């Protein structure tokens, strides 16, 4: 809906405010400062990069998040049944592989408020492209371990991020 609020988060003391805006993804505002781009809040599970649904089709966004420090990409989505069946898993795995990140992708299932059939199949993908957990087509909760040591090893042994030249 037009009045929907973008995803947002804040540090516990509200000194850093993190928000998502389709046209200025992954930005934050520190108290009394200018807006700056960054990957997102650092957590015990790694530095987060936030996007949504349709953004999966734009690999440049994810490369920008990774260049800003993202280790875990979050992609809450509402893929419809036709596009989900054809593209959901391959796009999730591609974004994880090409950016050498974990990707956590909750996807709505059932009927959307607009009457569309949503795909479901929420999943967690590792930087090697393996689907570590998936919910299938019903409601559920999935969990998987985010191993930052394995992530660092993959980035060290296959340094494709360091070799990227286009758009540098």
Q: pLDDT digit string (tens) for 4-48?
A: 444 555 445 544 445 555 444 444 433 333 434 456 667 888 999
Does residue 104 have a pLDDT over 70?
Answer: yes
Q: Enter the DSSP assignment of 133.
A: E
Please state the pTM of the whole predicted model: 0.78
CA pair distance 15, 78, nearest whole angstrom: 31
Does residue 1 have a pLDDT over 50?
Answer: no
Residue 105, phi then psi, degrees to nearest 5: -130, 85
CB of 136 closer than 8 Å to CB of 142: no
CB of 88 closer than 8 Å to CB of 121: yes
pLDDT value, residue 42: 76
- What count of Cα atoms within 13 Å lies in the side-chain half-sphere of residue 32? 0
């Amino acid at each position: 809906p037009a009045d929907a609020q973008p995803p947002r988060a804040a540090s516990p003391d509200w000194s850093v405010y993190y928000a998502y805006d389709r046209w200025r993804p992954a930005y934050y505002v520190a108290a009394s400062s200018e807006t700056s781009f960054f990957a997102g809040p650092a957590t015990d599970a790694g530095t987060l990069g936030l996007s949504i649904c349709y953004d999966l089709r734009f690999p440049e966004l994810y490369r920008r998040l990774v260049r800003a420090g993202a280790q875990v990409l979050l992609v809450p989505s509402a893929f419809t049944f036709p596009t989900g069946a054809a593209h959901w898993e391959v796009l999730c795995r591609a974004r994880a592989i090409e950016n050498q990140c974990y990707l956590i992708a909750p996807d709505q299932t059932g009927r959307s408020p607009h009457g569309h059939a949503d795909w479901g199949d929420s999943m967690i993908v590792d930087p090697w492209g393996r689907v570590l957990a998936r919910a299938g087509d019903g409601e559920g909760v999935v969990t998987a371990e985010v191993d930052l040591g394995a992530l660092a090893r993959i980035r060290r042994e296959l340094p494709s991020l360091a070799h990227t030249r286009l758009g540098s």
